[in-house]
Amino acid sequence: MYGSSVKVLVVGNGGREHALVRGLSLDPQVSEIFALPGNPGMAGAATLVAGSTTDPDYVAETAIELGVDLVVVGPEAPLVAGVADAVRGAGIACFGPSAQAARLEGSKAFAKEVMVAAGVPTATGVHCREMSQVEDAFARFGTPYVVKEDGLAAGKGVVVTDNEDAARAHAAAIFARGGSLVVEEFLDGPEVSLFCLCDGENVVPLSPAQDFKRALDGNDGPNTGGMGSYSPLPWAPPDLVSQVVNTVAVPTVQEMARRGTPFVGLLYCGLALTSKGVRVVEFNVRFGDPETQVVIPRLASPLGQALFATATGKLADFGDLQWKGTAAVDVILASPGYPQSAQTGGKITGVTQADALENVHVIHAGTKREGDHLVSSGGRVLAVVGEGATVEQARQRAYAGMALITLEGGHYRTDIAQL
């Protein structure tokens, strides 16, 4: 890629993918961007292409027809379905792990098995296939009860509660649909997200961020896919990143290589900074949402070149990432009823005005065009991102932008990044 221009296809239609498209558009060596299927917010920087994101052959054929040099897979479902395998099989570089390596997110039980084999510090957990095993695990670990659906659940398959009836009900619902689950010990302490670029052998970390999972202010309400985030983390230990790389990411990448399923793409380390040290809460195998929306704007290195180096096994040549001395905060606007039963189709106004503010931009997640109007089409509708010299300044700018946007019945948290 170095010294030449490349065409990139981004797979996905959410906020994470819009943030990636925006970041790629700022790389001078990225000549053209396509998004499959994309969303209205991406249309200014990318050509939108209709079609399925979870049909591996279709994605590979589309990449060939478009003549792209790199495919960047955003969501987890296409990765678990084997999209990266098909794209690589077509001779095109792909940022994203194989279906076998994507099991790190596709199965909580598999991820726990890999962590134990690699000596990665994590919560003790039990893989349960029937209620008697759940009851035994509840008795063993006590409260709060942590119940995690084993398969993909779009960030909403986890229940953490002191209410045993609620925890049991969540487990029963998972079993009723033919699934299995993991019950874990509760990890105390603040949670941190750290993204790591992995080319199968080498690991390059990004800047840490913090995500706010609960729907309501004060970390109350049900778990969501994330209601906002910020980066950097002024309170984090100075050696946090190096510690996580050395004790979590590198051992995991080495273990995956040992198993013959090298991990190529983005390893998302969801961490708890507990009283006993750093522990892994979960792995994801793609950029996190909404953390991507605040991490990418702070990146000074060219995003396209970093992702291409990862996809082609050249991270060692690329070196460390460079960062701006800025902060970013994003606040999510959600549809009425989210996350239990989101009501979509509401008219959205004020996005253009918010986008026009200095050091503010809007990232689309669940939006679509109906005639001349922008309407909601998903649970999380959009993110307003503020940038500034400090987290507080970035926070103020994000909320100034959100104040200009209207969606009847829509809701957002007012305490994101309130340090």
| pLDDT tens profile 10-26 | 999 999 999 999 999 99
At 15 the pLDDT is: 98
d(CA 251, CA 124): 18
At CA 316, angle to CA 313 and CA 321, rounded to 5?
105
Higher pLDDT, residue 175 or 400: 400
- The tokens describing 392, both together, are 């507080």
Q: Which runs of consecutive H residues, i.e. helices, occur in 90-130?
A: 103-106, 108-118
| pLDDT tens profile 56-92 | 999 999 999 999 999 999 999 999 999 999 999 999 9
At 2 the pLDDT is: 52
Residues 198 and 269: beta-carbon distance below 8 Å = no
At CA 375, angle to CA 370 and CA 376, rounded to 5?
135
| pLDDT tens profile 158-177 | 888 898 999 999 999 999 88
Determine if the peptide bond prior to 232 is cis (ω within 30°).
yes
Is the pLDDT at 155 greater than 70? The verdict is no
At 182 the pLDDT is: 87
Residues 6+ apart with CB under 8 A from 13: 35, 37, 38, 39, 53
At 251, give phi and psi (nearest 5°). -60, -35
Q: At 247, is the pLDDT very low, low, confident or very high (cuts 50, 70, 90)?
A: very high
At 3 the pLDDT is: 53
d(CA 391, CA 207): 14
State the sign of the Cα–Cα–Cα–Cα dihedral 267, 167, 174, 337: negative
Give the rounded percent of residues in the chain with a pLDDT score beyond 70: 98
Total Cβ atoms within 10 A of residue 93: 23
At 243 the pLDDT is: 96
Q: What 8-state DSSP symbol labels residue 45?
A: T
| pLDDT tens profile 179-237 | 888 898 888 889 999 999 999 999 999 999 999 999 999 999 988 999 999 999 999 99
At 213 the pLDDT is: 93
Long-range pairs for 133-140: beta carbons < 8 A, 24 or more residues apart: 133/183, 134/168, 134/171, 134/181, 134/183, 137/183, 138/164, 138/167, 138/168, 138/183
Long-range pairs for 217-222: beta carbons < 8 A, 24 or more residues apart: 217/413, 217/414, 217/415, 218/415, 222/156, 222/339, 222/340
To the nearest whole number, what is the mean pLDDT of the chain? 95
At CA 222, angle to CA 216 and CA 228, rounded to 5?
50
CA distances from 170 to 131, 142, 163, 205, 224 (A): 11, 16, 11, 35, 15
d(CA 385, CA 365): 13
Higher pLDDT, residue 4 or 184: 184
- Select from 288, 291, 272, 70 the least CA-distant residue to 184: 272
Radius of gyration of the chain (CA): 20
Please report the DSSP string for 360-373 in residue order: EEEEESSEEEETTE
In one letter, which amino acid is 374?
L
* β partners of residue 337: none
- Select from 176, 172, 102, 185 the least CA-distant residue to 137: 185
CA distances from 167 to 157, 160, 282 (A): 12, 8, 19
- The tokens describing 408, both together, are 């009847």
d(CA 278, CA 236): 11
pTM above the 0.85 mark? yes
Determine if the peptide bond prior to 121 is cis (ω within 30°).
no
d(CA 375, CA 196): 34
| pLDDT tens profile 87-126 | 999 999 999 999 999 999 988 889 989 999 999 999 888 8
